Chain A
Amino acid sequence: MNDQPQARSPAHDLAHLDRRSFLKTGVGGTLLLGTASVAAGLGGCATAPAGSQDDVGARTGAGYQFRFLTRDDIQLFEALLPAMIGPALTEEPRARRVAMTSTIERIDAGIYKFGPANQRELRRLFDLLNFGVTRVTAARVWSSWPNVTTAEADAFLERWRTSGIGLFNNGYIALTKISNVAFYGHQDHWHLSGYPGPPQWAVDALPHIKNA
């Protein structure tokens, strides 16, 4: 990379140089993520899609069947979304909860359509974040996600955004992109961007949309 400032290696990244250089190689990153996935399975993390299990169903509203996100993944997003989109949401608890849960459902639906290859990539990322040892070492998040405050979630996102390690930047992009698209892209939140939706005159003139 030409002209990459050497100064951008914040002390709050990973403390140990040897680990840094290990992670900087794609191979090292893949190994670490792979290890997290295996360990997550052995360690009893939820590795099956959450489906519509009762405890999840109670939080996420009736009817939606999760096809990719596990219960742990859902808790991860419940911890991260307040830092990503929280300030855009109403303070009213019920409406806030509905906006959060419907966003998580759309994240799940979107990832399902990503197909097997990118689902595997995201599985590695989510396992890395959900498995205790790697959550602490790679994300430097000390509490389990249900106990993470919005400020801590924001600090984590900021660490991965500003990190000098490409793998973490990539993780940041993956987490924020799927969340931002699922949130701002939905009709319920178009008002946040001032997007009025498709022109009404065109909708009225197109029976396949108007009568849908």
Chain B
Amino acid sequence: MSLTDRIARGLEAGWNVTDGATLVKNQTHEADVVVVGTGAGGGTTAEILAKSGLSVILVEEGRLYYRKDFKMDELTSYANLYQEGMSRVTRDGAIAILQGRCVGGSTTVNWTSSFRTPEQTLTYWSRQFGLDHLTPDAMAPWFDGREERHSMAPWHMDPNVNNDILRQGCEKLGYQWQIIPRNVKGCWNLGYCGVGCPTNAKQGALMTTVPGALDHQARLFHGLRADRLVMNQDRIDHLQASAMNADSVTPSGVTVTLKARHFVVAASAIGSPGLLLRSDVPDPHDRVGKRSFLHPVNATMAQMPEKVDPFYGAPQSIYSDEFNFKHGVDGPAGFKLEVPPLHPALSAGVIPGHGRPQIDAMADLTRTQSVIALVRDGFHPESPGGTVSLRDDGSPVLDYPISDYLWKGLRQAYLTMAEIQFAAGAKRVRPVHLDSDWYSSWADAKAAIETIAMAPHRTRLFTAHQMGGCGMGAKPQESVVNGFGEHHHVSNLSVHDASIFPTSIGANPQLSVYALAARNSTRLAGKLAG
């Protein structure tokens, strides 16, 4: 069996992969390029650079997990594959942050939804941030290329009931809906994308670009934490990194120094600003960590008369953009509607409650359906995003105040989601909110939601999409990198991940990251070869 697995085969064939936990003495290594992070951005960058003949070292703080470890088990996966063992939150604790921490980054645990950056978003960037080269036409070939690389296509099987209820509700109300493109090959339609694909069907970085880079002599260190980029005059000289113990929680004390001509940071919208802040990289306009976006998510739960089994089947296959850009790109907060999978641990963590009401809510899981709204943040003066800063121990934390503008959008989203669920035949609907009861009619739900307190902690909020913090733009006064991800002030530093987005995307961001990283890495490969 091991020989049929892409990773097991590569390791046997002699890939240059080092587990930081096995290192016993301090050491130094050198390559043309050091890439920090192995997710959508880092994987893409490493593969393109390695294929162009450059020597590449990939650095990943999380560990290498692959099919042998993916056993459709929630508790193990949340503990090992997610940032802070799935406990990451914003500074005040009000927004739960779902984010990968393993080789492949969030692409190892995402729900496979693969959208191009909406045209409205690219056009807005061009207008607001001077990113004239990122027009939909100019980006189209990069999206084409990445869709092929990651086997992205509209889901060809029937949606599961959980998703179909979103479709039915939209259909009844005359709202548009569409089928979600997914990055899978030979998918078994099991429903366990969020805990690591047990069949290798998911074509995230772990099954595509990371193996592609390793096949071309890239070297991967996992279990190695990037601490600090160290400057020598106006260039970065080396990366200082700490090996982590096998528990992935504590550093072992062994340090690794990585020297290179060029450094690409792709450590996520929380990790990348964190690394730049720890490194004191020049930031004359105080832009690093600013304008961080989350697509804040709220949710409603519905009890359906029929079996939903929301834990089985492709987790996301239907979406609605009816309300995403309805009032213009920069009008009242728009939102994308999708569906989350509901396995028992995830559900128990999302539904707030204790005692009998919690037991009752969990008891009906097989007939529970949920809709989520992803609020498009960053397109309005009253949606300036949050700020990444450093804790005393140097770890990054995101402070994300929620403005009245966003609360309004979130309340509207509660209303819309409840309306859709009742239209699809829900018996009862409940916003995921500390004050909410179950409502048995749309009229009752509407009346309650219109006056429910929209406040931190009481309104349960989530995010699976972290963006911004090293925003791109034409003007150094307003941004960290230019439209090619090149740092404005340090010539041998690039940023290739979701942190460069100057707003949120308005769609699940993985394809936006893949495409920009591919474009910017192709340019970088040319420069470094020249």
Interface residues of A in 70-120 (CB under 8 A from B): 83-88, 106, 109-118
CB distance from A158 to the nearest CB of B (A): 8
Tell me whether A183 is interfacial, beta carbon within 8 Å.
yes
With beta carbons under 8 angstroms apart, the residue of A4, A113, A182, A207 that contacts B1 is A207
Q: In whole angstroms, how far apart are the Cα atoms of A157 and B72 in the complex?
A: 32
Q: Are A181 and B393 in contact (CB under 8 A)?
A: no
Task: Find out whether the CB atom of B80 lies under 8 angstroms from the CB atom of A113.
Answer: yes
- From 1 to 45 in chain A, residues with beta carbon under 8 angstroms from any chain B beta carbon are 1-5, 8, 26
Q: How far is the CA of A203 from the CA of B344 in the complex (A)?
A: 18
Which residues of B lie under 8 Å from residue A110 when comparing CB positions? 75, 79, 85, 87
A residues less than 8 Å from B345 (CB atoms) = 181, 184-186
Which of A109, A176, A208 has the largest count of B CB atoms less than 10 A from its CB?
A208
Which of B354, B364, B393, B458 is in CB contact (< 8 Å) with A157?
Answer: B354
Contact: A4 with B455, CB < 8 Å?
yes
A172 CA to B451 CA in the complex, in Å?
23
Nearest residue, chain B, Cβ from A118: B87
- Cα–Cα, bound, A212→B73 (Å): 12
Decide: A5 and B79 in contact? CB cutoff 8 A. no
A83 and B457 contact, Cβ closer than 8 Å, known pairs A113-B79, A114-B84, A195-B311: no
Residue A166 at the chain B interface, CB threshold 8 Å: yes
Q: A198 near B: Cβ within 8 Å?
A: yes
**Contact (A117, B395) CB under 8 Å given A173-B93, A180-B358:** yes
Instruction: Give the contact-size bracket for chain A.
Output: 35 or more
| In the complex, B199 has a CB within 8 A of chain A | yes
Q: Are A198 and B85 in contact (CB under 8 A)?
A: no
Interface residues in B345-380 by Cβ distance below 8 A to A read 345-349, 351-356, 358-359, 362-366
* Interface presence of B397 (CB below 8 A): yes
Q: Indicate whether A193 reaches chain B with its CB closer than 8 angstroms.
A: yes
**Chain A 201-212: CB-based contact to B (< 8 A → 1; otherwise 0):** 011001111001
Residue pair B454, A1 in contact (C-beta under 8 Å): yes
> How many angstroms between the C-alpha atoms of A4 and B404 in the bound complex?
11
Compute how far the CA of A76 lies from the CA of B459 in the bound complex, rounded to whole angstroms: 27
Q: Do A161 and B434 touch (CB < 8 A)?
A: yes
Binary CB contact string for chain A from 142 to 162 against chain B (1 if under 8 A, 0 otherwise): 000000000000100100011
Contact A185 B74 (CB under 8 A): yes
Check B438 for interface membership: any CB of A closer than 8 A. no
Q: Which residues of A contact B454 (CB under 8 A)?
A: 1-4
Contacts of A154 in B (CB 8 A): 354-355
Q: 0/1 per residue, A122-146, Cβ < 8 Å to B?
A: 0000000000000000000000000
Query: Known interface pairs A3-B454, A4-B455, A110-B75. Does A170 touch B353 (Cβ–Cβ under 8 Å)?
Result: no
Which residues of the other chain, B, contact A203 by a CB distance below 8 angstroms?
72
- In the complex, A198→B88 CA distance in Å? 26
- With most chain B CB atoms within 10 A of its CB, the pick from A84, A179, A206 is A206
Is B391's CB within 8 Å of the partner chain A? yes
Q: A115-B249, A161-B434 are in contact. Are A195 and B344 (CB under 8 A)?
A: yes
Kindly provide the distance from the CB of A121 to the nearest chain B CB, expressed in whole angstroms.
8
Cα distance, A109 to B87, chains bound together (Å): 13
**In the complex, which residues 61-106 of chain B have their Cβ closer than 8 Å to any Cβ of chain A?**
67-68, 70-72, 74-75, 78-80, 84-85, 87-89, 92-94
* Chain A facing B: main interface SS: helix
Q: What residues of B have a CB within 8 angstroms of the CB of A115 in the complex?
A: 84-85, 87, 249
A-chain residues with CB within 8 Å of residue B366 when the two chains form the complex: 193-195
The answer for the CA separation of A180 and B220 in the assembled complex, in Å, is 37
Complex CA gap A201/B366 in Å reads: 19
Q: Closest approach, in angstroms, between the C-beta of B220 and any C-beta of chain A?
A: 22
Closest B residue to A195 by CB, please name it: B344
B453 and A173 contact, CB distance less than 8 A: no
Q: Chain B residues near A184: list those with CB within 8 A.
A: 344-345, 347-348, 362
Given A84, A116, A118, A190, which contacts B344 in the complex, CB threshold below 8 Å? A190
Question: How far is it, in angstroms, between the C-alpha of A72 and the C-alpha of B353 when the chains are bound?
Answer: 24
**Closest partner residue, chain A, to B85 (CB atom):** A113
**Which chain B positions have C-beta within 8 A of A116?**
249-250, 393, 395
Q: Compute how far the CA of A200 lies from the CA of B364 in the bound complex, rounded to whole angstroms.
A: 22
> Is B363's CB under 8 angstroms from A194's CB?
yes
Q: Which of B180-232 contact A (CB under 8 A)?
A: 188, 190, 192, 198-199
Q: Which residues of A lie under 8 Å from residue B408 when comparing CB positions?
A: 2
* Any B CB within 8 A of the CB of A169: yes
Q: Is A174 an interface residue when CB atoms closer than 8 A count as contact?
A: yes
CB pair B395 A174 closer than 8 Å: no
Q: A181-B348, A194-B366 are in contact. Are A202 and B93 (CB under 8 A)?
A: no
Return the chain A residue nearest B1 by Cβ: A207
Interfacial chain A residues near B75, Cβ < 8 Å: 106, 110, 181-182, 185-186
CB pair B451–A5 under 8 Å, yes or no, is yes
Closest chain A residue to B198, Cβ basis: A206
Residue B253 is within 8 A (CB to CB) of chain A in the complex: no
Q: A36 to nearest B CB, angstroms?
A: 17
B contact residues around A111 at 8 Å (CB): 85, 87
A169 touching B434, Cβ below 8 Å: yes
The smallest C-beta distance from B380 to any residue of chain A, in angstroms, reads 15
Residue pair A84, B455 in contact (C-beta under 8 Å): no
**Contact across chains for B71 and A208 when beta carbons are under 8 A apart:** yes
Residues of chain B lying within 8 A (CB to CB) of residue A208: 1, 67-68, 70-71, 198
Task: Report A-chain residues with C-beta under 8 Å of the C-beta of B87.
Answer: 110-111, 114-115, 118, 178
Q: Given the complex of chains A and B, what is the CA–CA distance between A194 and B395 in angstroms?
A: 39
B407 beta carbon closer than 8 Å to chain A: yes
- Distance A15 CA – B148 CA, assembled complex (angstroms): 63
Is A58 at the interface (CB under 8 A from chain B)?
Answer: no
Q: Give the distance in Å from the alpha carbon of A195 to the alpha carbon of B89 in the complex.
A: 27
Contact A185 B391, CB 8 Å, known A4-B455, A110-B85, A112-B249: no
A-B contact pairs, 13 of them (CB 8 A): A1-B404, A4-B454, A5-B451, A85-B354, A110-B85, A117-B395, A161-B353, A166-B94, A173-B457, A176-B358, A184-B345, A185-B344, A208-B71
13 further A-B pairs in the complex, CB-CB below 8 A; given A5-B453, A169-B457, A189-B344? A115-B87, A118-B84, A118-B87, A121-B93, A166-B92, A166-B456, A178-B87, A182-B75, A193-B362, A194-B366, A195-B365, A208-B70, A209-B71
Chain B residues in the interface with A (C-beta under 8 A): 1, 67-68, 70-72, 74-75, 78-80, 84-85, 87-89, 92-94, 188, 190, 192, 198-199, 247-250, 311-312, 343-349, 351-356, 358-359, 362-366, 391, 393, 395, 397, 404, 407-408, 434-435, 451, 453-458, 460
**Which A-B residue pairs are the 7 nearest by beta carbons?**
A185-B345, A113-B85, A184-B348, A169-B457, A180-B348, A198-B72, A193-B365
